[in-house]
Chain A
Amino acid sequence: MIMRSGGASSSGAPLANNEASLPKLELTDIGRDFGSFTALDGIDIAFRTGEVHCLLGENGAGKSTLCNLIFGVHQPTRGFMTLNGAPYAPNGPHAALAQKVAMVHQHFSLIDELTTVDNLLLGRKFGLVDRKAEAAKILALAEEFGLDIKPHAVVGDLSVGQRQRIEIVKCLMQRPEVLILDEPTAVLLPDEIEALLKVCADVAARGSAVVLVTHKLAEIRKIADEVSVLRAGRIVARSTRPAEDMNDLTTAMIGRSGTGGAFGVASLPPRAPHARSRMVREALQIDGLSFFDQTGARRLDKVTLTVDQGEIIGLAGVEGNGQSELGSILAGLDHPSEGRWFVGGKELTHAKPRAITAAGAGIIPEDRHKVGAVNAMTLADNLYLNQTKSLTRWGLIDRKRQTEGATSLMKQFDVRAQGPAAPFSSLSGGNQQKAVLARELMTPNLRFLLAMNPTRGLDIGAIEAVYRSIREAADKGIGVLLISSELDELLAVADRISVIYRGSIVGTRMASYDNRAAIGSLMSGTATQ
């Protein structure tokens, strides 16, 4: 039943251990709760030697939790695991490593200031080190798997791809029988991804079970021997012929067919197509925007996008395709490397946050704790964080007006808290988000609203409230750019949906459930315009 799809791997190594009856690592009815939240439930899965097994799923589907259970970071609440047929219950990463289960994390565990060799030696010995001999050993291992590393380079000077190779070598030094890679390609450039996938195939071919977490369908088609799709903590689809089952896998990953009932947006009335006059000005205009990060990697590639007044544009895309960078630029915390952008015709390409607010742009940032609010201040302070001046006379803040204003905002946006003076950190996530939304919607002369993943971590009631407010704003003529990785939410709320993939806009579709599959394939990079 296990079949390697034709032409998937260039390695061509024989699949010697292809004994389907004997999995290397098997999970039976595994479940994991965090408090009242069930992250994983009823997981049955088997990983086999010589195979690359891909775990596919959206953010929050439970992929990382599953990896952490296997690597011993967390322990399952229910169910059991077996390794080589014997019970396997690691109580920590060290126990997992001792049983030759290794993991390459999304975030590297490397010390930037040390060299490659020193990083690989760290924690292994106290006494004398012979760096020359160690470097030779490491190089030999790296070459065996076709990994190109620089043993004496300082890690901080290396590119993300080079660092990841060191991470992989660190794992391979243990000669792992099970190698888990948690979204290893999210941070890589296209050619680096190719190389990494080849390494995965090689590692599998040399007698390991490889578990590759990803949400990129293109990679699965290239490499996977078997695919399990996770959604909301459960396995919703499997395939041993991923290349042929691409469309079904896409559908499984982005949700059940039908209307997006499970997202708190079902009760929203269908949005009437807004009346467009010929005279409307663009609320937001982005013109050929590119952005290079500190390592010189291109994160945004000539993004061009227009949001008209009264329009809600959804920006769909799997996370890590440039959305954060775009959000950061529109918030004024970063500046583009190329291109220009405007709000209401006013150029803001190099503007500071204050000028962006003054131009009538409200920003709901991705991370409300780091960027959107000051947790240790009161709700009222946060409601007026960027508009304190309006409360100020002779340099003093009119606390009475602030309290009154905050109280009325709380009422208007249904922000529930002990009172305006409650510490922001004491509010629930939903109420915190409603407060941020209230503040940004109150921006004077508001023309444009950016909302980045505004419903992440919120309960259904709060999600509905947030989207109601956003739609009301649009009905009043404000242009909204809604960035989300939840396609069903975008379908329910937006008018049109643009898809961002590897830093560029790869297509735009009307927000209709009929277009869901098309948008999904744009998101996964399997279809082009």
Chain B
Amino acid sequence: MTLELFMVFVASTIRLSAPLLLAASGEYVSERAGIVNMSLEGMMLMGAFGGAVATAFTGSPYLGLAGALVAVLPIALLQSVLTNTLRANQVVTGLGINILVLGLTTLGYREIFGSRSREMIAGFDPISPPILGDLPLVGTVFYQAGLLYFAILMVALIAFVVSRTGLGIMLKAAGDNPHVTAISGTPVMAIRHGAVFFTGAMAALGGAFLSIVDIHTFTEGMTRGAGYLAIVAVIFGNWRIGRVMGACLLFGAATALQFQLPAMGIQLPNALLIMLPYVLALLAVAGLVGRQTAPRALSVPFWR
């Protein structure tokens, strides 16, 4: 593999992992607070849809991002009320919401775009950051969408808040043992609601990355399981934000390889590469890859 080809591979790995990273870092926050957001897929899809619609109507991808955030609000509210207030089964609720959002976005897309479904919407151009972007060879790696840099910033911010602040301690405590946490005077319910909304926002941006940044249009069910893959990244990342990011990059690399390997003349079934993340995650939850330490109260509803 030549160096240039390798740099192309690295750049596309990062680009392909960006939507995963956005969604997974949001899901990480939810799961640390004790909630499995199985509706991540639906939240991403809603974000992709809202982003595409808002961009198409305003012509501004920035307003598109705002549109993604607005569109996901009712979905996040539904998820949060069902799982926190009504203590519904988090997995079932999530799957239901995913079915619902797939229907809603497909229907909405047909109704809104209808005839002009092939039109491209405005998007973000990649930016080349100063100094880094001018480096020889590796400079191309940094030629990425601004939203990606935002994602990395968010990961750093989440890592900081979780490890260095009182809020972070409360978040982890709420996911491990909500009842004891509540005794300490921590507003567990508010934290859990907040976590779901934060996840919704991050997932929506991940979805918008797909529609606004990547392919400049919306297609039916365009997330194609990216939300589930982001959840898998959190599991495989063993609920540690650094490892979750690593998992996203690994999954991005697996996808990038599907395009790169044939170019390099290597014949490897690409199904194997697509399957890899799920197999790794299964081995991880089976306890075959180190010790899994999921938040103890993960998916357990809390009430006083």
A–B touch (CB < 8 A): the answer is yes
Chain A residues near B (Cβ < 8 Å): 93-94, 109-114, 118, 121-129
Chain B: interface secondary structure? Answer: helix
| Contact with B173, one of A111, A126, A129 (Cβ below 8 angstroms) | A111
Compute how far the CA of A126 lies from the CA of B293 in the bound complex, rounded to whole angstroms.
25
Report the minimal beta-carbon distance from A481 to chain B, rounded to whole angstroms.
Answer: 36
Residues of A with C-beta under 8 A to B186: 122-123
Asked whether B116 is an interface residue with its Cβ less than 8 Å from the other chain, the reply is no
B183 touching A109 by the CB < 8 A rule?
yes
Compute how far the CA of A276 lies from the CA of B184 in the bound complex, rounded to whole angstroms.
60
- Stretch in B8-16, B42-50, B52-60, B163-171 touching the partner: B163-171
A110 touching B169 by the CB < 8 A rule?
no
Report the minimal beta-carbon distance from B121 to chain A, rounded to whole angstroms.
Answer: 40
B173 touching A114 by the CB < 8 A rule?
yes
Compute how far the CA of A66 lies from the CA of B181 in the bound complex, rounded to whole angstroms.
25
Report the minimal beta-carbon distance from B89 to chain A, rounded to whole angstroms.
Answer: 18
Residues of A with C-beta under 8 A to B176: 111-114
- A111-B173, A112-B176 known; A128-B183 Cβ under 8 A: no
Interface centre among A114, A122, A126 (most CB of B within 10 A): A122
Report the minimal beta-carbon distance from B31 to chain A, rounded to whole angstroms.
Answer: 13
What are 7 A-B contacts defined by CB distance under 8 Å? Answer: A110-B180, A111-B177, A113-B172, A118-B172, A118-B173, A121-B169, A123-B186
Q: Which residue of A lies closest to B169 (CB)?
A: A118
Residues of A with C-beta under 8 A to B177: 111-113
Interface size class, chain B: 10 to 19
Residues of B with C-beta under 8 A to A113: 172, 176-177, 293, 295-296
Compute how far the CA of A126 lies from the CA of B167 in the bound complex, rounded to whole angstroms.
5
Q: Which residue of A lies closest to B187 (CB)?
A: A123
| Contact with B166, one of A93, A109, A111, A126 (Cβ below 8 angstroms) | A126
Compute how far the CA of A94 lies from the CA of B177 in the bound complex, rounded to whole angstroms.
20
Compute how far the CA of A93 lies from the CA of B296 in the bound complex, rounded to whole angstroms.
26
Asked whether B185 is an interface residue with its Cβ less than 8 Å from the other chain, the reply is yes
Q: Which residue of A lies closest to B185 (CB)?
A: A123
Compute how far the CA of A67 lies from the CA of B271 in the bound complex, rounded to whole angstroms.
64
- A94-B185, A109-B180, A113-B176 known; A127-B296 Cβ under 8 A: no
| Contact with A111, one of B167, B180, B293 (Cβ below 8 angstroms) | B180
Compute how far the CA of A110 lies from the CA of B185 in the bound complex, rounded to whole angstroms.
13
B180 touching A114 by the CB < 8 A rule?
no
Residues of B with C-beta under 8 A to A109: 180, 183-184
Beyond contacts A122-B173, A124-B184: 18 other A-B pairs, Cβ-Cβ < 8 A, are: A93-B183, A109-B183, A110-B180, A111-B176, A112-B176, A112-B296, A113-B172, A113-B177, A113-B296, A114-B172, A118-B169, A122-B166, A122-B181, A126-B170, A127-B165, A128-B165, A128-B166, A129-B165
Report the minimal beta-carbon distance from A163 to chain B, rounded to whole angstroms.
Answer: 12
Report the minimal beta-carbon distance from B21 to chain A, rounded to whole angstroms.
Answer: 25
B166 touching A124 by the CB < 8 A rule?
yes
Residues of B with C-beta under 8 A to A128: 164-166
Compute how far the CA of A129 lies from the CA of B162 in the bound complex, rounded to whole angstroms.
11
Q: Which residue of B lies closest to A107 (CB)?
A: B180
Compute how far the CA of A114 lies from the CA of B183 in the bound complex, rounded to whole angstroms.
15
B181 touching A111 by the CB < 8 A rule?
yes
- A112-B176, A112-B296 known; A122-B170 Cβ under 8 A: yes
Chain B positions 241 through 282: 1 when the CB is less than 8 Å from some CB of chain A, otherwise 0: 000000000000000000000000000000000000000000
Compute how far the CA of A125 lies from the CA of B176 in the bound complex, rounded to whole angstroms.
19
Residues of A with C-beta under 8 A to B170: 122-123, 126
Report the minimal beta-carbon distance from B285 to chain A, rounded to whole angstroms.
Answer: 18
Interface centre among A94, A123, A126 (most CB of B within 10 A): A123
